[in-house]
Each structure stands twice: as structure tokens, then as C-alpha cells.
Amino acid sequence: MGSEEISALKKAIRHTVRSKRNSLSSEQLLDADQQLAQQYSHYFTNASNLNVALYLQHDGEVGTRHLINLLLTNQCDIYIPKIYADGRNLFTFIRYHADSKLTKNRFGIAEPISDTAIDINLLDIIFLPLTAFDGQGNRIGMGGGFYDRTLSTVQNINAKLIGLAYDFQEVLSCPIDDFDKPLDGMITPTRVIDFSQAPRSAN
């Protein structure tokens, strides 16, 4: 499959999924946010004192407010992605507290004002937003490529890469490029999926 065809398929999937996400009611969004945290607590019962990178909800993504509160209760340190100020399309991960001051970046996404970053190799978990995933741990990102580019700067990433999404974001097969980073796991409002033993197929 050529790069242009892969790009077209990804674009079509993003359009379909975003339409579904944007149709969710405020009650459904809140329920999913709560259920996501419950799934995490059921399967990661002893996960405390971790360095965790986590996004703030935007554009109908599955919410993370309850998960953030749970992680803070478990004495985890939270880090939020922030776009480099020098124009590079890369993330740095900034320490986040419940009272952290935020501002919106050029995409309208909230990010910390602070520049207190962590070395990405010190992160234990990176939770990623996405528009689609499949049963082998392949993912289609949000379209900007920030996570893939950022992760590609690290030779041997130590952190577990775990996607967060609604169940309806699962597709039969994700078209993937060579630079796309596969997931180690997924959490949805109804389940936790371990991809660590799943072979990655070539599209």
C-alpha cells in the first residue's frame, strides 16, 4: 500500500471517528471519563509512585479528568505534553499539578505554562490519544504526528505506550506507515487490552 493511499485511508477513518465522538452527549462523555479510570484501577491495582504522561481532553477525546485524579491519589507524578516554543513539531512533557496554570497552544489545546520538563526516558507510562486502533496494537493518531516524532527521538523508549479511546474507535485494521509507533496496551471504558505479545502486521 502506497503512502498516498495510507494517508487517504487515515483521513477517512479520522473523519468517521470524529463525527461519532462529536455526537456524544455531555453525560456520555462524563460516564466514559469515569469508566476509563475504573478500568485503570481494576487492572493496575499496585501502580503507584509512577511518572506518567497524560493528555488533557480535547476535540471529543475520551476524558482523563478522573484518571488524573486517581493517579495523583496513587502518588504518581503527572506530565502533560507541551509543544516546543521554538516551532519544532515535537512535545516536551511538563509536570502537572491540580493547580497548574494552563494556556492554549496554537491548536487550542490546554498545556502548562511551566517549562519544568522530564527526560522522556524517566517516564513509566505514556498515555496517548488516538482516532483509531486495531487488535494488534496499531494506532492512527490525531493527524499532527507529534507523538510519533517525539518518540522517534528516543532510541530505546522505556515507557509503556498505552492508548486511551472509546470502544467504537476500534477498527478491523489500521493502515500504518513505517514511522507509526505501535501500542503496548489500550484502555477503553469497558476493557484493558495487552498488545505486548501481539505481532504487528504490515499493511
The CATH code that applies to domain 3-194 is 3.40.50.10420
Asked if 93 contacts 150 with a C-beta cutoff of 8 angstroms, the reply is no
Question: Which pLDDT belongs to residue 153?
Answer: 86
CA gap 44, 10 in Å, rounded: 32
CA 14 to chain centroid? 15
Name the grid cell of 81.
505534553
E-assigned strands of the chain? 51-53, 77-83, 91-96, 102-104, 110-112, 125-128, 132-133, 139-140, 160-164, 185-187, 192-194
Q: What is the pTM of this model?
A: 0.91
Question: Which pLDDT belongs to residue 144?
Answer: 82
> Mean pLDDT per segment of 10 residues, for the chain of length 203 residues?
83 92 95 96 82 93 95 94 87 93 92 92 94 94 87 86 96 86 95 78 46
Kindly list the domain boundaries of the chain, sorted by start residue.
3-194
Question: Which pLDDT belongs to residue 198?
Answer: 56
Which residue from 169, 165, 153 is spatially nearest to 62, judged by alpha carbons?
Answer: 165
Asked if 151 contacts 91 with a C-beta cutoff of 8 angstroms, the reply is no
The helix (H) or strand (E) run that includes residue 167 is none
